[in-house]
Structure 1
Amino acid sequence: MEVRRREFLALAGLAASAVALSACAQAGAAPSGSLRAAFGQPVTDLDPYNAGTAVDEASLIVKRLVFDTLVRRDGEKLVPGLAASWKRSGDTTWVFELRPGVRFHDGSTVTARDVVACLERTKAVKSAQSALWATVKSAKADGDHRVVFETDGPMATLPVNLTLLFIVPAKLVADPEQKRRPIGSGPFRVTGFTPSTNVELARFDGYWGGASGLPGISMPFIAETSSAITALRNGDVDLLWPVPSDQLKEVQGHRGVRVETVPSCTYYLNWFNCGRKPFNDPRVRRAMIQALNLEEIVGKLFGAGAEQMRAPIPSTVFGYAEQPAFAHDPVAARRALADVGLPNGFETTMMWFDATGPLSRELAQSMISAWDDIGVKVTPQSIEKAQWLQRLNTLDWDMELQTNTVTTGDAAFTLGRLYTSKANRMGYKNPALDKVLAAAGAEADSAKRAQLYAEACKTIWSDAVGIFPAALTTAYGLRSRVSGFTPAANNQPDLAPVRRG
């Protein structure tokens, strides 16, 4: 009897999810009754100071469960973490008071000296976080429970940046074992980890904030979305995100499954390598944008799952300022290319990794097709995430498509971190923008900060440093037995308070 295509895909999904989930049992599986949560990107490394994964979404989800930070984000607010309190003492000094009696997973006590060592390690490793710490001159331990930070000029963003400084024992900051079996002080400890396959966590009963109601968390990576959805529907996983908008119908209304959505801080960008010809000319970059009917592309691909962007950051982020859309005008785009000596277009490349976000391949293909119409021949390069990270960080690309998440919900994390000349993330250097971003990072008044980031949005947008097609709505698929879950706009939900009935 002939097997229909849909039945075949369902069977394939079952097999793939079974393989992914069985791998968990081979790598120090989480305890029985653990939450099984599948995120759409693989975790490649757990070292909190690894240069390549410093702001990687998948790694950050796990790190927030394994490690503590001085400050935590709770919705729109900053709340105490390892630091019970903090204050600004003058323009360039911040004092943080640590909670006493906090212990790491190995039983040792957390002290101010650990915090100092972690900051020094973070500053020493050149990574995508480096720009956040450039103006921090030093941190000093004043006794066991007080850390004093000195900054090179006013730095209003220090508390929000500290939501990304993960604390480990000072003696382990450079230990290679931190990549696989890291020691932190968070609510869970690592029992097993296979890169790009699964992470296994067990509850840390000595957690200062109280033991989690979950015995553990298992996080398998299931590369095929259809297979991940099959696993959710069959009860093999309890939580799956993000669910692409074009596959929501496969989840919604299914018995035992519910969907929760939230406007997110996650968005697609396509950077131009502004240090390479012909993208060193802003006229070429603008022509590439004019060739795209982004309203149609985003609408057809994502529907209600995304909105067309009007700034280089999503509207959910502090510092957002709407900009005028580039008109879709292929004729003007071809004319602009001719004006810069490229009447026949040119050849270039575009790299991405499929797991970067929903419909990434389809988005790439839509853009490549539109560019072909103006004579720009783009060779697609869909590569593995590890290779993509290496090439991204060494500027070994012409164009690169990815999703990016404003993890802190503040423009300082994205605009202030990525678009400075010193950061050199996409070969774009603008001293005037540098001054605006530096002023925004130093400004304590939120209204003035917003004005400065609005100016930065305008510059980045008009200089066409990249294409910003779509801000995503994140959809979470959950089994009905899951309770206590709060959708996160930054794609990094706190799983510690979740319960599995």
Structure 2
Amino acid sequence: MVMRRREFLALAGLAASSVLAGGCGAAGGGGSAPDGSLRAAFGQPVTDLDPYNAGTAVDEASLIVKRLVFDTLVRRDGERLVPGLAARWRREGDTTWVFELRGGVRFHDGTPLTARDVVACLKRTQSVKSAQSSLWAAVTSARADGDHTVVFETDGPMATLPVNLTLLFIVPERLVADPAQKRRPIGSGPFRVTGFTPSTSVELARFDGYWNGPAALPGVSMPYIAETSSAITALRNGEVDLLWPVPSDQLPEVRAGGVSVRTVPSWTYYLTWFHCGRRPFTDPRVRRAMCQALDLEEIVGRLFGAGAERMRAPIPPTVFGYAEQPPYAHDPGAARRALRDAGLGEGFTTSMMWFDATGPLARELAQTMISSWAEIGVTVRPQSIEKAQWLQRLNVLDWDMELQTNTVTTGDAAFTLGRLYTSKANRMGYRNPELDGILAAAGREADGGRRAELYGRACRIIWSDAVGIFPAALTTAYGLRSDLTGFTPAANNQPDLSAVRRG
């Protein structure tokens, strides 16, 4: 019998967690995490650890690990921005920001962290074209003023710089372009990498020299377990301590056997983009018809139950800048008429790509949507592919439609609306000069109320132009062994594991 890749990865993940439970053996790609480490399983594979890799610049699974291994100047704490490597910062005039770094910070290799490292990391980030690029386009320069001061200059007012800096991971200047950073990166975070096998496991050990104090547990082991049922079994058997996200339909099973569940309304949501630069999706009438074909109230309720809510904007309601929009009514008749008006009375054939691990019940959601589109004469060929291939095709616009979960990592609409929907970003072939102007103004605006108003206008344009379909805002459920303490659920799916302890 030929073993499928998903089955192989499931077995590989379980084998890794079993080895770690016994405290011996080495994970692929190097050593294992120390005995007594937290065993945490996230629902997507980690494919690369380089903080400047173009394909994984905003990849959720990679970001989880990066936040444990690297530091940023600014951090998000709930709705507040708080100091990270920068002890304080200030704005001087409209175009200058000054960040004062805390002293005494060292990288995992013992070298001191200085302002020159920060400058080098920004330049590296700007030089690599990625899904983050638009966040840094307005920064014209950065310079080190001594060892502990970084001065950023922008080409105009840029109110979003502090929140964007929650995504600028700092490494030693000499390593910003080192290929070894993909597998054994050096950072200054609470954990250092001891082993990494792409799409299988990440092994971390506590960095005792961490500036904010050592982590509570000696390390973190993160096996990837492809099959959710296998991951839940590992959690209930004690082979895994923490698992997320747990699909809502499997919460009763998780709650049994020494496991508790913590939930949080998340910044994660499902979206389906249309390639707006490829026919027939160049026509907004076709895109709106695809929306009208779906009974999202029924689909989301039946599939996710309390684990999600139907979206009424292109970002979740928990995110700054959200503005509720009138939902598209389920009206197959109107959808068929719209297709006729667009010259597609006989329907058409297209395709939709996704990878199953993108989120809970991804395949079921895709199949349900495809069935609904068939009822208005649209044949959608399903393309369920590996994550690495999906990322590559997504970034080069090699698709008709695509389904994914997306996380507003910073909790601010600038990260999603301002980054993804500009003509320059060209993430889905959509171009709208009016929207470009609104998003540019929002990025410059310092007043919170005015920013919210501008992003509300952006929500309305994206929604009414049907750039995509936004089915469900997810509630993230974390399953954890009852002996864990100090764990705080994270709305961006990227929890701080350094405070977690046993007992």
Question: Fold-level match, TM-score > 0.5?
Answer: yes
Q: Supply the distance in 2 between the matched residues of 1:16 and 1:296 (Cα, whole angstroms).
A: 37
Match for residue 49 of structure 1 among 39, 49, 52: 52
Confirm or deny: 8 A CA contact 2:285 2:338 kept in the other structure.
yes
- Give how far 1:249 is off: 1.2
Q: Which amino acid aligns with 2:118?
A: V
Q: Does 1:26 align with 2:27?
A: yes
Deviation digits for residues 11-51 of structure 1 (CA, Å, limit 9, x no counterpart)? x9996653242576333110000000000000000000000
Q: Supply the distance in 1 between the matched residues of 2:315 and 2:32 (Cα, whole angstroms).
A: 38
TM-score by length of 2: 0.96
Q: Supply the distance in 2 between the matched residues of 1:146 and 1:413 (Cα, whole angstroms).
A: 26
Q: Does 1:113 align with 2:113?
A: no
Q: Supply the distance in 1 between the matched residues of 2:398 and 2:9 (Cα, whole angstroms).
A: 35
TM-score by length of 1: 0.96
* Counterpart for residue 397 of structure 1: 399
Distance 1:13 1:115, change over 3 A: closer
Q: Which amino acid aligns with 2:381?
A: T
Deviation digits for residues 353-401 of structure 1 (CA, Å, limit 9, x no counterpart)? 0000000000000000000011100000000000000000000000000
* Counterpart for residue 133 of structure 1: 136
Confirm or deny: 8 A CA contact 1:257 1:478 kept in the other structure.
yes
Match for residue 123 of structure 1 among 119, 122, 126: 126
Q: Supply the distance in 2 between the matched residues of 1:490 and 1:375 (Cα, whole angstroms).
A: 38
Confirm or deny: 8 A CA contact 2:10 2:227 kept in the other structure.
no
Confirm or deny: 8 A CA contact 1:301 1:359 kept in the other structure.
yes
Match for residue 334 of structure 1 among 328, 333, 336: 336
Distance 1:189 1:13, change over 3 A: closer
* Counterpart for residue 237 of structure 1: 240
Q: Supply the distance in 2 between the matched residues of 1:346 and 1:23 (Cα, whole angstroms).
A: 51
SS of the residue aligned with 1:338? helix
SS of the residue aligned with 2:158? coil
Q: Which amino acid aligns with 2:414?
A: A
Query: Aligned runs of 1:281-320 on 2, under 5 Å?
Result: 281-320=283-322
Gaps of 5+ in 1: 1-11
Q: Supply the distance in 2 between the matched residues of 1:346 and 1:255 (Cα, whole angstroms).
A: 50
Deviation digits for residues 141-180 of structure 1 (CA, Å, limit 9, x no counterpart)? 0011000000010000000000000000000000000000
* Counterpart for residue 423 of structure 1: 425
- Give how far 1:189 is off: 0.2
* Counterpart for residue 154 of structure 2: 151
* Counterpart for residue 460 of structure 1: 462
Query: Aligned runs of 1:251-270 on 2, under 5 Å?
Result: 251-252=254-255, 254-270=256-272
Deviation digits for residues 272-301 of structure 1 (CA, Å, limit 9, x no counterpart)? 000000001000000000000000100100
SS of the residue aligned with 1:251? helix
Gaps of 5+ in 2: 1-7, 21-25
Q: Supply the distance in 1 between the matched residues of 2:107 and 2:490 (Cα, whole angstroms).
A: 27
Confirm or deny: 8 A CA contact 1:68 1:186 kept in the other structure.
yes
SS of the residue aligned with 1:177? helix
Q: Does 1:76 align with 2:79?
A: yes
* Counterpart for residue 5 of structure 2: none
Q: Supply the distance in 2 between the matched residues of 1:326 and 1:34 (Cα, whole angstroms).
A: 48
Distance 1:41 1:344, change over 3 A: same
* Counterpart for residue 160 of structure 1: 163
Deviation digits for residues 403-455 of structure 1 (CA, Å, limit 9, x no counterpart)? 00000000000000000000000000101100000100110000000000000
- Give how far 1:340 is off: 1.1
* Counterpart for residue 6 of structure 1: none
- Give how far 1:132 is off: 0.5
Q: Supply the distance in 1 between the matched residues of 2:166 and 2:309 (Cα, whole angstroms).
A: 28
Give the superposed CA RMSD: 1.4
Q: Supply the distance in 2 between the matched residues of 1:419 and 1:13 (Cα, whole angstroms).
A: 35
Confirm or deny: 8 A CA contact 1:20 1:222 kept in the other structure.
no
Q: Supply the distance in 2 between the matched residues of 1:23 and 1:352 (Cα, whole angstroms).
A: 32
Query: Aligned runs of 1:184-195 on 2, under 5 Å?
Result: 184-195=187-198
Q: Supply the distance in 2 between the matched residues of 1:306 and 1:97 (Cα, whole angstroms).
A: 41
Confirm or deny: 8 A CA contact 1:13 1:230 kept in the other structure.
no
Q: Supply the distance in 1 between the matched residues of 2:313 and 2:220 (Cα, whole angstroms).
A: 37
Q: Supply the distance in 2 between the matched residues of 1:421 and 1:219 (Cα, whole angstroms).
A: 38
* Percent identity of equivalent pairs: 81
Q: Which amino acid aligns with 1:160?
A: V
* Counterpart for residue 279 of structure 1: 281
Confirm or deny: 8 A CA contact 1:192 1:199 kept in the other structure.
yes
Match for residue 353 of structure 1 among 337, 352, 355: 355
SS of the residue aligned with 1:166? coil
Confirm or deny: 8 A CA contact 1:13 1:226 kept in the other structure.
no
Q: Does 1:99 align with 2:102?
A: yes
* Counterpart for residue 201 of structure 1: 204
Confirm or deny: 8 A CA contact 2:13 2:200 kept in the other structure.
no
Question: Which stretch shifts more, 303-312 or 13-22?
Answer: 13-22
* Counterpart for residue 217 of structure 1: 220
Q: Supply the distance in 2 between the matched residues of 1:461 and 1:67 (Cα, whole angstroms).
A: 36
Q: Does 1:39 align with 2:35?
A: no
Q: Which amino acid aligns with 1:408?
A: T
Q: Which amino acid aligns with 2:53?
A: N
Confirm or deny: 8 A CA contact 1:14 1:231 kept in the other structure.
no
- Give how far 1:256 is off: 1.2
Q: Supply the distance in 1 between the matched residues of 2:10 and 2:327 (Cα, whole angstroms).
A: 44
* Counterpart for residue 489 of structure 2: 487
Distance 1:113 1:14, change over 3 A: closer
- Give how far 1:255 is off: 2.8
Match for residue 64 of structure 2 among 55, 61, 78: 61
Q: Supply the distance in 2 between the matched residues of 1:238 and 1:17 (Cα, whole angstroms).
A: 14
Deviation digits for residues 478-499 of structure 1 (CA, Å, limit 9, x no counterpart)? 0011100000111111111111
SS of the residue aligned with 2:280? coil
Q: Supply the distance in 2 between the matched residues of 1:255 and 1:399 (Cα, whole angstroms).
A: 41
